[in-house]
Amino acid sequence: MPLVLRLDEVDSTQRAARALIDQGALHGTVVVARHQTAGRGRLGRAWHSDEGGLWLSMIVRGAVPATRAPRLTLGAAALALDALDSIGGLAARAAIKWPNDLLLPHAVPAPRLGPWRKVGGLLLEGVLLDGGVVRAAVLGVGIDVRRPSHGFPAELADVATSLQDAGVDIEVDAVLDALAPRLQARLLDALEDAAFAELLAVLRARSATLGRRVEVDGVVGLAERLDDEGALCLRDDGGALHTVRAGDVQCMV
Ligand code: BTN
């Protein structure tokens, strides 16, 4: 089984994992920290990482055509759902906001999310690029397991939640034990068509995006379906179909 490196505090497990790639660490090596002082989210956003969350980065090595790299984020999202299902207590209520947000249902609609709150997120960063091929990357996963002791910061108060808030009383290490082996053993399977089709079926069935009116990078419309590569097909109000391969989805509640 590949190494799991546990840190007490680090700026970002993404940076720490990247440094391990430079030292030759193997595929599946996981860096996990109790606390990050400069956790990173997508699109250059900060990621709030107090104690009580699972803050994990995994080294991904392979020969991944850059056009297939989105499969890794999507595959990891499906595996994260499987891990959350396995810990019990959520009754398969977790869902994915395409492409990388882990959500839990919530009674009070939130701006840009609808009847959901964000419990986690995924971040894939390519590290070694060789022409059009990704040789190494870092997959980051953050999951709010316990409510931060001083609560979520004001800017997250109406969009974030934790497993604890959803009634799941579990240690961070138990979530790590559910998630890390799945990612280590199965993430690269997402590059194979048959395995990816299975992961995609999970994402379609457990999507908080499909069937909703959304805005993605200035285009507003109905999130109709995910195509066979997992791209989001968006029907705008004029009837045109937009295929979105990456982006930030805002739900028009
Ligand atoms: C997102 O939703 O924007 C992605 C968030 C990813 C956060 C995780 S926490 C562990 C790893 N280290 C980081 O600095 N970021 C990722």
Q: What confidence tens digit (pLDDT) does each residue in 63-73 have?
A: 999 999 999 99
CB 93 within 8 A of CB 105: yes
CB 73 less than 6 A from any atom of ligand 1: no
Q: How far is the CA of 103 from the centre of ligand 1 (A)?
A: 15
**In the prediction, which pLDDT does 198 show?**
98
- Give the pLDDT confidence score for residue 253 in this predicted structure: 65
- Full-model pTM: 0.96
Give me 194's structure tokens. Answer: 């048959």
Looking at ligand 1, which residue's alpha carbon is closest to its atom 15?
40
Q: What is the mean pLDDT of residues 155-169?
A: 94
pLDDT in tens, 121-160: 999 999 888 999 999 999 999 999 999 999 999 999 999 9
Tell the residue nearest (CA) to atom 2 of ligand 1: 121
Residues 205-219 have pLDDT tens digits of 999 999 999 999 999
User: In Å, how far are 78, 133, 143 from 172, measured between CA atoms?
Assistant: 20, 34, 9
| 241 CA from centroid of ligand 1 (Å) | 31
Ligand 1 pocket member 36 (CB < 6 A): yes
Residue recorded with tokens 């894939």? 124
- Asked whether 53 lines ligand 1 (CB < 6 A), one says no
For ligand 1, atom 10, the nearest C-alpha belongs to 55
- Burial per residue of 175-186, b for 16 or more beta-carbon CB atoms within 10 angstroms, e otherwise: bbebbbbbbbeb
Residue-wise pLDDT tens digits, 180-207: 999 999 999 999 999 999 999 999 999 9
At 178, list the tokens: 């559910």
pLDDT at 116 (0 to 100): 95
Ligand 1 atom nearest to 40, measured from its CA: 14
Does the beta carbon of 54 sit less than 6 angstroms from any atom of ligand 1? no
Cβ count within 10 A of residue 132: 9
